[in-house]
């Protein structure tokens, strides 16, 4: 073990020496994901053990309860410790050293060389800690105490999704010069871009930078702001002389104008510019940060719905949780990108990143891919007295850390915090009002939204505390029938014609391992049998209903992926929410996924429905297909049956066939711009067929 530490020290020293072109010119950032040691502290010790035998060598990202959260059994809530070596500090020479943690679940206490350096409560936001004064010339050690227990000072519980423990996002060491862009503004990069008067002819931006001076004297500096297009060409720039005084952080604003900007236009054209801020002292660059922005304007109309850059733009998509089977929330960029690629494959235009701040890489991908993002904080399912301060902290962190992303259009303040039928719930109302005011102070240009599941209680106080109200509407799953959704939308719009309506969640459970020929009967939402066919039909009815109502400014399927809920035991798999369009392990795209792909995607789709349902009775059976390239031709056992007829909308097709005893091979074909597409599967028909027991 001592030899291993020496190797780590050597590698770190080399990296931190090589990283900047000159130690006096710029900041260096060193990724610290490798070379950690982990100890699961089941005795909740105040001090981490020193014996090396107790520690397990790991790399980040890491969580200690990826398996137990998904098991349906007891979850490991408690304390664990992480440690690793840090570089030597004898070359700092007045520079500042910061540790940046991008996500620790959910309480973290930071110790450097045995001394307490800082703490943070909140699983989902980043935080930075200045550790300069704790570093020694050599032999530096970092320890992190992590706790994932439910805390009354934290605004959520674990009923709707699990609480993972661990350092599950990147950690880095950032070294800056004494005068630098601040790293103390709640984990942000110290650069905020506000855009105004955006059109295809002109746009104005205000660049606000937060600067820090850790010396004893004022620094006479030049702040240079440059805007670069995608090819790296400068399209606007401004330099200003300023004085950065020692003491607390100082904010400086710079105005720029851009002629004929190329607009960020969602999925069709998510064009991004780069904003570059450089700080010079005595004519030499001492710090630089870069970020990306996209010029866009948006509004929401009570009749036309969402409007992007002056034109109606329908927002339809999914909710997404940041977890995978067997990985928990300790995801790398590979898993995040895979999720976004699947959402893009389906043709969604918007994503609600529920119910918490997600990895900044997700917002980066949304910027690049053109998704409109609903971002929110984990004020979820009830209220903890004493949690107001942490809720406000997490909203400030979300907004400041995500401020420049053009994909984000709305800040979510809470989700289903009214308990039972007590509609007043004044503590929740008061906190929501405070969250709304904070959001407007920090970011006056974006909207705020709250979410409730009281779909007929329009006038309760908590529904009037934000700019927008989202409704979680599960008619067809938790009571009622999915066909009732149309009546609810018509009634809501007629009773509240100026209400800007969104369906923040809708969905039904579906277990691909459970099949039934009956897709009409609604299964018990708390039961153990969630046939995929019912989920498929639910979404067919739900989307064709939503599609007819353009006033709905956004609609979001719950959920894109199955995920873990430790306290649940439903649908044949304990600890699982089965409402995803894709399985927890990402291996099975359910039929409902292809339904939305046929309706939303511009890529050709031809899909036979029910291919996992391979048993049927001898006799007449209705075959269903999805196609966005026209009516498919159906063949049975090699013989052409004919062209399939229209179904519930222009993307669904139906046809009856007569199955014979034994295997029956079904095939559909259609032409897509001269390319023949096909899909096939085989049904085994028996005269004594019966449904599997439920």
**Residues belonging to the active site:** 416
Q: How far apart are CA 301 and CA 359, in angstroms?
A: 31
- For residue 523, give the DSSP letter: P
Q: How far is CA 523 from the centre of its chain?
A: 30
Q: How far apart are CA 98 and CA 100, in angstroms?
A: 6
**What crossing angle do the helices spanning 591-600 and 532-547 adopt, rounded to 10°?**
20
Q: Which of 137, 105, 139 is nearest to 120 (CA)?
A: 105
Are 354 and 415 in contact by the 8 Å Cβ rule? The answer is yes
Which residues, 6+ apart, have CB-to-CB distance to 314 below 8 Å?
Answer: 305, 306, 349, 550
Q: How far apart are CA 694 and CA 691, in angstroms?
A: 8
Q: How far apart are CA 148 and CA 87, in angstroms?
A: 29
Task: Give me the torsion for CA of 648, 653, 656, 658, rounded to 10°.
Answer: -140
Are 629 and 606 in contact by the 8 Å Cβ rule? The answer is yes
Q: Hey, how many other C-beta atoms are within 10 angstroms of the C-beta on 125?
A: 26
Q: Which of 410, 508, 505, 383 is nearest to 455 (CA)?
A: 505
- The H or E element containing residue 432 is helix 426-442
Strand, coil or helix: 349? coil
Are 534 and 522 in contact by the 8 Å Cβ rule? The answer is yes
**What crossing angle do the helices spanning 426-442 and 388-402 adopt, rounded to 10°?**
30
Strand, coil or helix: 155? coil
Q: Which of 654, 653, 662, 657 is nearest to 683 (CA)?
A: 662
> Residues of 351-368 as b/e, b for ≥16 C-beta within 10 angstroms?
bbbbbbbbbbbbbbbbbe
Q: How far apart are CA 455 and CA 469, in angstroms?
A: 11
Q: Which of 324, 664, 691 is nearest to 531 (CA)?
A: 691
- Which tokens in the block code for residue 243? 């004085």
């Amino acid at each position: 073990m001592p030899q291993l530490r020496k190797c780590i020290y050597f590698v770190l020293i080399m990296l931190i020496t090589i990283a900047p072109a000159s130690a006096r010119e710029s900041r260096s950032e060193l990724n610290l994901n490798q070379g950690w040691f982990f100890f699961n502290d089941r005795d909740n010790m105040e001090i981490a053990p020193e014996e090396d035998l107790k520690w397990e060598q790991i790399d980040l990202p890491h969580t200690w309860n990826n398996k137990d959260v998904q098991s349906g059994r007891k979850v490991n809530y408690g304390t664990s410790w992480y440690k690793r070596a840090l570089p030597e500090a004898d070359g700092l020479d007045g520079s500042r050293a910061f540790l940046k943690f991008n996500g620790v679940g959910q309480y973290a206490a930071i110790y450097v060389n045995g001394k307490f350096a800082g703490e943070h409560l909140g699983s989902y936001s980043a935080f930075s800690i200045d550790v300069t004064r704790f570093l020694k010339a050599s032999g530096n050690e970092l320890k992190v105490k992590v706790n994932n227990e439910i805390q009354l000072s934290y605004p959520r519980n674990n009923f709707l999704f699990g609480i993972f423990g661990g350092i599950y996002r990147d950690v880095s060491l950032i070294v800056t010069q004494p005068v630098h862009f601040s790293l103390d503004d709640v984990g942000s990069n110290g650069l905020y871009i506000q855009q105004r008067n955006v059109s295809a002819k002109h746009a104005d931006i205000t660049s606000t930078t937060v600067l820090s001076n850790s010396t004893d004297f004022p620094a006479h500096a030049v702040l240079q702001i440059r805007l670069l297009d995608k090819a790296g060409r400068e399209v606007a720039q401004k330099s200003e002389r300023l004085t950065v005084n020692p003491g607390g952080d100082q904010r400086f604003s710079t105005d720029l104008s851009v002629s004929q900007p190329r607009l960020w236009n969602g999925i069709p054209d998510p064009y991004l510019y780069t904003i570059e801020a450089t700080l010079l002292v005595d004519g030499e660059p001492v710090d630089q940060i870069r970020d990306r922005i996209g010029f866009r304007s948006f509004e929401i109309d009570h009749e036309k719905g969402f409007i992007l850059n002056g034109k109606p733009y329908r927002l339809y998509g999914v909710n997404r949780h940041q977890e995978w089977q067997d990985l928990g929330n300790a995801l790398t960029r590979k898993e995040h990108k895979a999720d976004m690629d699947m959402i893009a494959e389906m043709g969604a235009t918007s994503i609600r990143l529920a119910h918490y701040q997600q990895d900044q890489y997700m917002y980066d991908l949304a910027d690049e891919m053109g998704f409109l993002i609903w971002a929110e904080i984990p004020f979820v399912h009830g209220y903890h007295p004493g949690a107001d301060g942490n809720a406000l902290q997490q909203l400030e962190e979300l907004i400041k850390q995500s401020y420049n992303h053009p994909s984000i259009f709305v800040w979510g303040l809470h989700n289903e915090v009214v308990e039972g039928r007590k509609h007043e719930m004044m503590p929740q109302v008061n906190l929501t009002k405070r969250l709304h005011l904070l959001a407007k102070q920090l970011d006056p240009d974006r909207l705020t939204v709250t979410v409730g599941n009281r779909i007929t209680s329009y006038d309760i106080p908590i529904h009037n505390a934000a700019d927008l109200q989202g409704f979680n509407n599960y008619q067809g799953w938790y009571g009622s029938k999915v066909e009732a959704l149309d009546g609810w939308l018509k009634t809501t719009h007629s009773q509240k014609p100026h209400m800007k309506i969104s369906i923040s969640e809708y969905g039904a459970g579906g277990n691909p391992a459970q099949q039934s020929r009956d897709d009409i009967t609604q299964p018990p939402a708390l039961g153990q049998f969630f046939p995929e066919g019912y989920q498929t039909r639910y979404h067919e009815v739900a989307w064709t209903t939503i599609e007819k109502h353009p006033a709905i400014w956004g609609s979001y399927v719950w959920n894109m992926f199955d995920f873990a809920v430790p306290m649940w035991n439903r649908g044949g798999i304990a600890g699982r929410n089965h409402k995803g369009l894709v399985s927890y392990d990402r291996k099975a795209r359910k039929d409902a996924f292809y339904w939305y792909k046929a309706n939303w995607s511009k890529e050709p789709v031809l899909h036979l429905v029910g291919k996992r349902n391979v048993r049927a009775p001898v006799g007449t059976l209705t075959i269903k297909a999805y196609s966005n390239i026209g009516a498919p031709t159906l063949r049975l056992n090699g013989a052409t049956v004919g062209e399939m007829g229209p179904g519930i909308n222009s993307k669904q097709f139906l046809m009856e066939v007569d199955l014979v005893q034994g295997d029956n091979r079904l095939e559909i074909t259609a032409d897509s711009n001269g390319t023949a597409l096909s899909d096939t599967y085989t049904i085994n028909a028996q005269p004594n067929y019966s449904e599997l027991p439920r």
